[in-house]
Amino acid sequence: MSTILHHVGGIETGAADRTGPVYNPATGVVQHQVAFASKDEVDAAIATAAAALPGWRATGLVKRADVFFRLRHLLVERQDELAAIITSQHGKVLSDAKGEISRGIENVEFAAGLVHLLKGEHSEQVARGVDVHSVKQPVGVVGAITPFNFPAMVPLWMVSSAIACGNTVVLKPSEKDPSAAVFIAKLFEEAGLPAGVLNVVHGDKVAVDAILDSPVVRAVSFVGSTPIARSIYERASANGKRVQALGGAKNHMVVMPDADLDAAADAAVSAAYGSAGERCMAVSVLVAVGDETADALVAKVADRVASLTIGDGTDAASEMGPLITAEHRDKVASYVTGATAEGATVVVDGTAQHFDGDGFFVGVSLVDHVRPGMRVYDDEIFGPVLSVVRVPSYEEAVSLINANPYANGTALFTRDGGTARSFEFDIEVGMVGVNVPIPVPIGAYSFGGWRNSLFGDSHIYGPESIHFYTRSKVITTRWPDQTPSSVNLGFPSNH
């Protein structure tokens, strides 16, 4: 059985004294071991990144941009290979894996515009003979800690912007599906990125803590669950680092009585059960305004899920694959099996569906008459479970969402422009869709939520990432002229 090693300074390395299993979730079979880095190994990777920083920072912007143009070409050319890696270790179907790669490429394209993105400002003659200009400079060595559910897209979100800005990176991907990160690092180097600019270390809390505590690492980006995001933020910021830590979600999709209910049902099924619900932007709560709307939606969703094909992600017929681990599958199932005792109605019980073999499969579930206070509502389930909450009015739908501790994404389905505009204004959530169930912004905007879905003040990728991965420096200049100088101990004035 092969061992997946770290990728540091352009070479594979690792003592592999400690390892973890990498499963094929569709079969339940351990297909690899992955090396778990010690603190010393992480420190060595950080030192490698620090050594590469001066040279990469001094690299011309046009030459940096050329790396991203080449990388985009390589990602398109080799997307089938990368998608196969994702499916084999995560379990998502190949079409979903390719979609993930496509969204990652958007951020590579954005980073390729770095010559424009890194422009400063200039003010001429702020005082007689005095000019002022600002520049954006890299923060230094950056730590990137990424989740299992998007093993290619999220690394590309972080790494692309960080490297474009002139930083070097130590990337710690999820130990559950680590190979995509190594593949991407090698593609970067094939595209012309110098060895040591992007380094990949694998592992558990030991590796994470080494990144958070290192005085050499100046900024940390993280995506994961809310408890871990909060912990990452507190520890890294206490160590003087910039931190963007994106946490969990409980995304609501509001359906008004005037909405196209067939389109809404299609959207709810797609957004709730795609990638087995293992998305931080998955719709997990369907908020139906009025019982008539709710009854119709529940019937339409139940009808649609009856024909879903669940199976190995490599099978072209499969629409949904397995969950990432057996433990996670069992945890997801517990929300459904416990819902009835809480007073909810299990309309479709995915836990009762039988699957051959030892893969980590579970069927899709639909739970009606859900209310705040129930575990199935309060917790981020991160699986193929869609809850239905019934409310009598638009106002109560908004109040429900705004009271939730999570505020990552939300959506409204309606035909009424006035209602849509009110929703955009009233709702207190970071990303909003109108007749769009998963409102993930394109690469030219930034991604992130509010409240317990984000710790730190910067969203990920897009324009806010340029701000996060750079420091502004303001320079005031005066060159000798014919005006005689004199001593003046007064406060400097620009007049």
Integer Cα distance of 52 and 194 in angstroms: 8
Q: How far is CA 120 from CA 114, 116, 133, 254, in A?
A: 12, 9, 7, 42
Helix-then-strand count for the chain, H and E:
16, 23
Sign of CA dihedral 386, 146, 220, 161: negative
What does 398-423 look like in DSSP terms, one character per residue? HHHHHHSSEESEEEEE-S-HHHHHHH
Tell me if 219 sits within 8 A of 242, measured CB to CB. Answer: yes
Integer Cα distance of 401 and 69 in angstroms: 41
Integer Cα distance of 313 and 322 in angstroms: 8
280 a catalytic residue: yes
- DSSP letter at 16 equals -
| Residue where the block lists tokens 């909060």 | 230
Residue 81 host element (H or E)? helix 79-90
Pick the catalytic residue from 165, 228, 269, 280. 280
What does 365-398 look like in DSSP terms, one character per residue? EEEES--TTSHHHHS---SSEEEEEEESSHHHHH
Integer Cα distance of 463 and 459 in angstroms: 9
Residue 96 host element (H or E)? helix 94-111
Alpha helices (H) along 191-284 = 205-213, 226-238, 261-273
Just list the catalytic residues: 280
